[in-house]
Amino acid sequence: MPPVRVIFLAALMCAAGPLRAAVLREAAGLVQVRPAGGDNWRPAGKTPRPLSEGDGIRTGFNAKAVVELTGGSLLEASGNAHFSIEVDAPGNTSAHAMFGTVRMASQATGGRAVSIRTPTCVVRARGARSGFRVTVGGGGGTVVEAVEGAVGVEDNRGRSMLLAAGQRVEVDLAGLHEATAAPTPVQARKIDFMGMMRRELGFELGRDADFAQAAREVRRAEREQGRVLLDADGRRVRVEEYVVRPGPDRVTLVTLNGRADGMSYAAFAGTFDRALPRNLEPVMANLAGGARRRRGRSTRT
């Protein structure tokens, strides 16, 4: 490549400046990251950690995550939050909040679009300095609070509203509600705490229901597989069968019967006059018909 062309390309790169990517600056408590297009959540690990568009972040109970976006905007998530980096470019900074409370603070936007999208609305920063808090609850219902500057809110029906600092509005599937005064800091902490407790209680109840359903499915599968039977008295009996091969010509069969008041077992140990095949089904089928065996014993308690 000619020297003139190299110098020209270098000058263009210097004039454009380095492109900054989103960075996870702080992770306190349980903070997990899921790479774009992935299915597995991993601990955030050491910070600062670079993030890419499409990466998801979620926080556990009483945790906190702070992400610095392109242009210096800060996105802070409190406990039990779930959001992702949607767009992180010089002219557009956007995140997708799916659950919990996140706060966006932007300074000197310079015409750059800074926004947070939720299931029911889009919240955009207006002016050079702007700060707002977004709380997403069950069903996608969203509460938007303007902390600093002006904030624009647009619902999924195309209606929009401009909030001034100290105002809040609720948005659900029906659209925007009337704007009201935002709560005081003390009231906000109480609201956050009550919302966190409700979410935790909902998680626990949902987890208990999932465990109960899983237990029912396990019991049904055991009955279908013959691992749980009913005895003559109508009691549930759990049946387990094992095959042990201590040698090429030896086999031991053990059957365990478990009840609520105890356990019983039956065992058969046999030594044959030749090495047994890998598939014991023909051997077991011939045992009842008097198959030749050198020695066998059966015990029962």
Give all domains of the chain, ordered by start, each with its CATH number.
18-198 (2.60.120.1440), 228-300 (no CATH)
Q: What local confidence, expressed as pLDDT, does residue 297 receive? A: 44
Closest CA to 143 of 179, 106, 184: 179
Cis peptide bond upstream of 119, omega within 30: no
Q: Residue 290 contacts by C-beta under 8 Å, 6 or more apart in sequence?
A: none
Residues 169, 174, 175, 178, CA torsion sign: negative
Per-residue pLDDT tens over the stretch 55-106:
999 999 889 999 998 878 899 999 999 999 988 777 788 899 999 999 998 8
Residue type, 173: L
Token reading at 32: 């997990």
Q: Measured between alpha carbons, how far is 146 from 75 in angstroms, rounded to an integer?
A: 14
DSSP 8-state class, residue 81: -
Q: CB neighbours (10 Å) of residue 235? A: 11
Residue type, 260: A
Beta-sheet pairing, 42-43 with 64-68: unpaired
- Is pTM beyond 0.85? Reply is no
Backbone angles phi, psi at 62, to 5 degrees: 60, 30
Per DSSP, which regions of 137-226 are E strands? 142-155, 160-163, 167-172, 175-176, 180-181
Backbone angles phi, psi at 89, to 5 degrees: -130, 165
Closest CA to 66 of 58, 74, 57: 74
3-state secondary structure of 261: coil
Per-residue pLDDT tens over the stretch 214-258:
767 766 665 555 556 666 677 777 777 778 888 888 888 887 777
Q: What local confidence, expressed as pLDDT, does residue 109 receive? A: 57
User: Rounded mean pLDDT of 112-130?
Assistant: 89
Averaged pLDDT of the chain: 79
Q: Measured between alpha carbons, how far is 33 from 252 in angstroms, rounded to an integer?
A: 50
